[in-house]
Amino acid sequence: MKNVKEVVMKYVFMVAAAASILAVFLICVFLFANGVPAMREVGFFKFLFGTTWAPNNVPASYSIFPMIVGSIYVTAGAIIVGVPIGILTAVFMARFCPKGIYKFLKPAVDLLAGIPSIIYGFFGMVVIVPLVRTIFERFDTDGMSMLTASILLGIMILPTIIGVSESAIRAVPNSYYEGALALGATHERAVFFTVLPAAKSGILAGVVLGIGRAIGETMAVIMVAGNQARMPVSILKGVRTMTANIVIEMGYATGLHREVLIATGVVLFVFILIINLSFSVLKRRMKA
């Protein structure tokens, strides 16, 4: 009976894995089948590196380079804001946090992960946008800017980075920490110079997941970034990301315009693929 259960579960897991692979394959087929012809019609170089997005002009111009740059800048800003705070919070929760505080801090971090994007967007509009507008008033900004979007995304990726990094730190054998103490290290030095480097692979995984969340975020970014389809000129000016561009215009787009928006999804998909492949290569080198 035990062997029958094991065989059944083996095939159940196999079917689940095959379904996941099939889903990814079908998504790739849909995106590339609809997006690549649009790129070819517009011109690959013009589509990727042109600086004018004007689908309603005659003739229309479909160039997504401003949105590519905007996505990269906003994601980079989110990394600068979220990664240090997330990793240090994970270190505190894993190695420094008293049990009484941890009982409240852990559920609070988990709650951050469950808050819908639209709520983060409202928070950004009501709190962060006025704050940025007030602080940088002399720079003539309305608060809806690349800086605001970066701060908001930095907050949104915190639960992912904290959760994965804390698990990685706790997974390090305690003998590493005890060995460092035996050699005369203080608690802080043992944590930061022994435990943390040993957990770097898991921490890096959390950072990569956070980057994926940041570059793919849409609704919250739309509400605070200004959504101006132009080359970014300042962190205090509006910017439009690739995801925001798709959502804003897909509702009324037709013909080539719609196909170009799908092609934008292809570029975004390739971005995520490159990030994951880079992480895999880096992880192998770290193990070697």
The structural domain count of the chain equals 2
* 34: containing domain: 2-49
Could you tell me if 51 and 65 are in contact, meaning their C-beta atoms sit under 8 angstroms apart? yes
Whether residues 23 and 164 fall in one domain: no
Are the C-beta atoms of 123 and 176 separated by less than 8 Å?
A: no
- pLDDT over 80 at 282, yes or no: no
pLDDT of residue 286: 67
pLDDT, greater one: 169 or 55 = 169
Token pair for 212: 């994926």
Q: Note whether residue 61 is domain-resident.
A: no
Mean pLDDT along residues 278-286: 75
* 172 shares its domain with 255: yes
pLDDT, position 274: 85
Given this model, what pLDDT does residue 30 score? 86
Average pLDDT on 79-91 reads 94
pLDDT in tens, 200-242: 888 988 898 888 888 888 888 998 988 888 888 888 888 999 9
136 and 13 in one domain?
A: no
pTM metric for this prediction: 0.87
CATH number for the domain harbouring residue 255:
1.10.3720.10
Number of residues written out for the chain:
288
Q: Is residue 60 part of a domain?
A: no
Backbone angles phi, psi at 232, to 5 degrees: -60, 130
d(CA 32, CA 265): 9
Both 20 and 119 in one domain: the answer is: no
Sequence-ordered list of residues with C-beta below 8 angstroms from that of 250, at least 6 positions apart, any chain: 258, 261
- Assess whether 11 and 153 both reside in one domain: no
Residue 58 lies in a domain: no
CA–CA dist 242, 27 (Å, integer)? 18
Residue 116 sits in the same domain as residue 153: yes
Identify the DSSP state of 128.
I
In percent, the amount of the chain with pLDDT more than 70 equals: 98
- The arithmetic mean of pLDDT across residues 75-88, rounded, is 93
C-alpha pair distances (Å), 273 with each of 153, 197, 254, 269, 284? 20, 26, 28, 6, 17
- Residue 55 inside a domain? The answer is no
pLDDT band at 155, cuts 50/70/90?
very high
Looking at the structure, tell me whether residues 41 and 141 fall in a common domain: no
On whether both 150 and 82 belong to a single domain, the answer is: yes
pLDDT tens per residue, range 86-131 = 999 999 999 998 888 999 999 999 888 888 889 999 999 999 999 9
Q: Which phi and psi (to 5°) does residue 63 adopt?
A: -130, 120
Regarding whether 73 and 30 lie in a shared domain, the answer is no
In a domain, 54, yes or no: no
C-alpha span between 84 and 76 (Å, rounded): 13
DSSP 27-72: HHHHHHHHHHHHHHHH-HHHHHH---EETTSSS-EE--HHHHHHHH
- Are both 27 and 86 inside the same structural domain? no
Summarised one tens digit per residue, pLDDT across range 177-189 is: 989 999 888 889 9
Beta strand pairing status for 53-54 and 61-62? antiparallel
CB neighbour list of residue 11: distance below 8 Å, 6 or more residues apart: none
